[in-house]
């Protein structure tokens, strides 16, 4: 199997001559005019991109939009022989003197770690960005990477409210809790923000803005760490990674505003992106799984006659399971990923319900069942390889 991996490489323009600086500046300004519906002269392909941005995003008047550079109009080249810079970028601009589209070669700095991406990889449409008085081009590089077809286990990931992620191996339910710090970071800044807000209104606003920046960088760093940990864990057992796809439905279970407020600010989407990207680079499949009902269904018997308590436990009134609620969610995600229907109409007395490699047989009408699923018995038939059942760490 192959998966496409997209990496954005940020290259910085430097040592621009006055003439080139003016052309870049002019192009950027003209692009802003064009996306806001004003007349402008632009490189023709860039004008088309401006029209697209205008019709798709209809950006507000007070925002700046990066100049979208069509991939067939840009080139990046390595040239050790030049003293000024070893990397050069061909930037399309409108030339007012010639009254037509033109291109200029500008010196750029490429981060050392990214240079390999630019030599033989495919560059997509990219963006010219202005930040803090500097010019950058965000080069979007797309590659196809091979991911394995067969795995020995499933690492199921639940992105929860209490932990940024909880991961469980489907074979033996070995569970790890990741990234409580993220919540702490958010709590810390939330408190700070509150106290600043109360103290001084005017300067407070500026401090809060800066805090926001710092917070998101810290959180992002933690998310990268969590994603790296998850990949390392999956690699240990040659496991495929599956994660619950956030749809916003999950916490709509009457747990109140406090929980909802927190969960919605959790950067699920970012973690999902980091995880998928890093997994694919690791040659490993990583797929989202529908998340509905995974938090309220008992992983062992499939009943939804369950209760989540404040300590983060999930209790099943049908089979008596008492387990960590996030682990329960992750196991359901894992089971769904291997094609098992996690829901079973256990409330229908007398029904015979097939659950993960075991049968739950209801007897009578009192909801008792027999035999109970053994906690040590979980079926796993994702690939031909037999699961290696060693615990992690």
Footprint of Zn ion on this chain (CB under 5 A)?
A: 298, 300-301, 303, 316, 318-319, 321
The residue (of 93 and 369) whose beta carbon lies closer to Zn ion is 369
The residue (of 15 and 347) whose beta carbon lies closer to Zn ion is 347
Contact between 121 and 143 (Cβ < 8 Å): yes
* Minimum distance, C-beta of residue 289 to Zn ion, in the bound complex (Å): 20
The residue (of 185 and 360) whose beta carbon lies closer to Zn ion is 360
Contact between 208 and 194 (Cβ < 8 Å): no
* Minimum distance, C-beta of residue 335 to Zn ion, in the bound complex (Å): 13
* Minimum distance, C-beta of residue 167 to Zn ion, in the bound complex (Å): 22
Strand partners, 285: none
* Minimum distance, C-beta of residue 322 to Zn ion, in the bound complex (Å): 10
Which of 92, 119, 106 has its CA nearest to residue 20? 106
**Residues sharing a CB contact under 8 Å with residue 346, sequence separation 6 or more, in sequence order:** 301, 302, 303, 304, 305, 318, 353, 360, 362, 367, 369
3 state SS of 31: helix
* Minimum distance, C-beta of residue 375 to Zn ion, in the bound complex (Å): 11
Tell me which H or E stretch contains 32: helix 18-35
* Minimum distance, C-beta of residue 256 to Zn ion, in the bound complex (Å): 25
Report the 10 Å Cβ neighbour count for 335.
Answer: 26
Q: Convert 259-321 into a string of H (helix), E (strand) and C (coil).
A: HHHHHHHCCHHHHHHHHHHHHHHCCCCEEEEECCCCCCCCCCCCCCCEEECCCCEEEECCCCC
The residue (of 27 and 318) whose beta carbon lies closer to Zn ion is 318
The residue (of 130 and 358) whose beta carbon lies closer to Zn ion is 358
Phi-psi region of 51 (alpha: psi -120 to 50; beta: other; left: phi over 0): alpha
The residue (of 92 and 356) whose beta carbon lies closer to Zn ion is 356
The residue (of 24 and 298) whose beta carbon lies closer to Zn ion is 298
3 state SS of 253: coil
Question: ∠ CA(218), CA(224), CA(229), 5° rounding?
Answer: 125
* Minimum distance, C-beta of residue 305 to Zn ion, in the bound complex (Å): 8
């Amino acid at each position: 199997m192959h998966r496409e991996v997209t990496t954005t490489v940020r290259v910085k323009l430097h040592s621009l001559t006055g003439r080139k600086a003016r052309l870049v500046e002019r192009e950027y300004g003209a692009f802003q005019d064009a996306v806001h519906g004003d007349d402008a002269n632009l490189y023709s392909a860039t004008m088309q991109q401006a029209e697209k941005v205008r019709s798709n995003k209809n950006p507000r008047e007070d925002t700046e939009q990066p100049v979208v550079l069509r991939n067939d109009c840009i080139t990046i080249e390595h040239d050790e022989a030049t003293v000024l810079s070893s990397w050069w970028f061909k930037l399309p601009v409108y030339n007012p003197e010639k009254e037509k589209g033109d291109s200029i070669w500008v010196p750029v700095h490429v981060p050392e770690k990214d240079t390999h991406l630019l030599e033989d990889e495919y560059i997509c449409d990219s963006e010219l960005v202005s930040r803090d008085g500097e010019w950058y081009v965000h080069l979007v590089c797309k590659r196809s990477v091979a991911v394995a077809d067969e795995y020995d286990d499933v690492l199921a990931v639940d992105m929860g409210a209490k932990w940024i992620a909880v991961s469980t191996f489907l074979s033996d339910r070995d569970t790890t809790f990741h990234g409580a710090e993220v919540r702490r970071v958010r709590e810390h800044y939330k408190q700070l923000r509150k106290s600043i807000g109360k103290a001084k209104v005017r300067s407070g606003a500026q401090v809060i803005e800066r805090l926001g920046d710092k917070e998101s960088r810290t959180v992002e760093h933690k998310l990268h760490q969590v994603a790296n940990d998850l990949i390392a864990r999956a690699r240990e057992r040659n496991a495929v990674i599956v994660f619950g796809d956030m749809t916003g439905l999950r916490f709509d279970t009457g747990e109140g505003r406090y929980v909802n407020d927190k969960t919605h600010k959790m950067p699920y989407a970012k973690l999902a992106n980091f995880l998928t990207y890093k997994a694919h680079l690791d040659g490993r499949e990583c797929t989202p799984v529908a998340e509905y009902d995974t938090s309220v269904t008992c992983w062992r018997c499939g009943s939804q006659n369950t209760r989540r308590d404040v300590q983060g436990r999930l209790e099943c009134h049908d089979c008596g399971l008492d387990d960590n609620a996030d682990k329960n969610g992750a196991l359901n995600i894992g089971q769904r990923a291997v094609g098992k229907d996690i829901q079973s109409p256990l409330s229908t007395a007398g029904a015979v319900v097939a659950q993960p490699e075991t049968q739950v047989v209801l007897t009578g009408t009192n909801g008792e069942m027999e035999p109970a699923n053994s906690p040590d018995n979980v079926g796993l038939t994702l690939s031909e390889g037999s699961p290696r059942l060693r615990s992690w760490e």
